[in-house]
Structure 1
Amino acid sequence: MTFKLLLSPIICALIGWVTNYLAVKMLFHPHKPIKVWPFVIQGIFPKRQNELAESLGRMIEKELISHEDIKSVICDPSFIEKHKVVVLDYLDVFFKEKVTTLHPMVSMFLNDDTMKTIRGMLSTELDEMLPKLIQTTSSQLENSLDFKCLVQKKVENFSMEQLENILFSIMKKEFRFIEIFGGVLGFIIGLIQIFIFI
């Protein structure tokens, strides 16, 4: 009788661990609905993948990233200045390596002083043109890029194996904690049973 009592916490711990282990597994399995009359058994995530995709898309659009976030980055003066430098450097190369090959006389006119003057004029033009260009790009992005739809479609198109791997890679420790906690809780319940019996 004493041996059975001492065994009680171990059995309860095992039951608690197995129960929570199965609960975690049933978040994803079975992937396809299985009809066990009169019940239909399917993992929570496979069953609600479309709802999850829609909710995730909505949350990302509202809470994580929006068109305003992108607009604030690409319309930032330092961002524009970096692109201006890239454009000017490209135009330098274009004039020196491409335009000068058109005719020998062209290279005579495009000396260092002339190139410096042209670069200054282009710099002034770009100061006015780039913000307008980026503003137009920003508006086009806003009209053509729907974050909610994009995320929703991607999540809906994930295979359940992919989704399971992603969630397990993010929440592996949490899932393991749930399993262990089930065992610990079962062990405590087993100890309580011993004390009640005694």
Structure 2
Amino acid sequence: YSNVLLRSYEALSYSGQKVGFVSEKQIAAGGLSAFKLLVVPYATRVDPATLSGIKAYMEQGGRVLLIGSHALELEPHGTAQSAEERSYVFAHADKITAANWTAAQIRSFLQPILEDIAPERMLLKETATGELPYNVEWRSTEHEGRVLLNVVNYGAETVLAAAEADGNQAVRYTNLITGQVHEGGALELEPLTPYLFAVEMGADNGNGNGGEGSE
């Protein structure tokens, strides 16, 4: 469970997503309503109320990704869960049946899901490949009328990447730490260097891009 949890966190974090954690008690009390996506990382034994809470969340339109074919299979003491509720969850969830997928594989599987639930999300794409960079964590938000982008490259090499959101390319980045202004093109993201940009977006480029939020 713990290894799958860490890989799932990495997959979401390196997709530009804010990740939250929710307890079984919170799920049973309806605490999933604040989230767009629930990832169940090979949790094989849960309270019946947890399974019921997940089913209710899905009935209200929530998206669920189950990892591992034995997810949600048993109650804490080994009794089988309600076949009806578990069958419903499995029938309506996105599923990765293997529990040994790498974080990179999980991230690839997640992309269509994230695009569906949050098509307006901001993406970073490597300029050379057009793919999401790996080992790069980013978050974006709107604050006082500005789009802010926080980025850290945890890899060993400089990454060249550009931001886009909802089909629009970034045309100007203002580094709020150094004051430097970068006009369009690619950002040079040095290893282990925190960045905070105010981002100005251009007009729709007609390509149509999309993505997600786990919250």
TM-score range, shorter chain: under 0.3
Give TM-score scaled by structure 2 length.
Answer: 0.18
More helix by share: 1
Larger radius of gyration: 1
More strand by share: 2
Give TM-score scaled by structure 1 length.
Answer: 0.20
